[in-house]
Amino acid sequence: MKTSAEKTPLGPHASRGRSALLVPLSVNILLPLAMYYMLRAQGITQWAALLLSSALPAAHALVTAVVRRRAAFFDLFVVGLLLVSAGTSLISGDPRVLLLKDAALPAALGLWILGSLFFSRPFAFHFGDQLRGSSGAGAAERAWRERPEFREALRGLTVLWGCVQLLDATLSTVMALALPVDVVPVVGRVVSFSLLGLVAMATVRRSRGFRARYGIPLFGLRAAAAEARPAASGTH
């Protein structure tokens, strides 16, 4: 007979992981995109529509900082980037400067991800923390200390994600300079989502292959369940 721990060991953690992904995607990508085209449909100029739609992620970053009573570096970067690009665009009169802001974000993120390779734990390891429970975190720490193949796999994924973000930044720059302004927001989002989907599929494939070969998960999704089974069997 299965215990409740076996049935839903990861429910809260999986839900938290989905929220950690869906909220940024909605606030930083989907809602600004919808807002831009709604404003354009109302006859708002390209510059004003880009500025107002870009203000949504910045406002979210400020509210998050106030609620948490601390400002994360990335939140400050989003706000500062908006202010700089808005001021530069106002002086030059060119809305494309605001479009280049969308290239600066993945560029900064990609450099930060690659820079994490020089930290004690790379980005991919910390990303897994969003999916692990307390028992999964302990198992991941042990695997990091004791399994060189575990460290190599997470560093490899960190390199992959960082390079994909830099590719996104490069493509966003080319589109901002070469395509019609009204086309760039939607095409840019399609490209970004496509790259995100590709790197997600590569990550899942790599994670499954690693688990099949070494018998341990890269991201600890089933660590809590694996530890719950021996405990449950011991009660019979």
The pLDDT tens digits of the residues spanning 123-132 come to 999 888 777 6
pLDDT band at 73 (very low <50, low <70, confident <90, very high): low
Mean pLDDT lowest among 5-14, 69-78, 94-103, 124-133 = 5-14
Q: What share of the chain is helix, strand, coil (3-state, %, to 5)?
A: 80, 0, 20
d(CA 220, CA 154): 12
Q: What angle is formed at CA 33 by the lines to CA 82 and CA 63, rounded to 5 degrees?
A: 50
DSSP category for residue 71: -
Tell me the pTM. Answer: 0.74
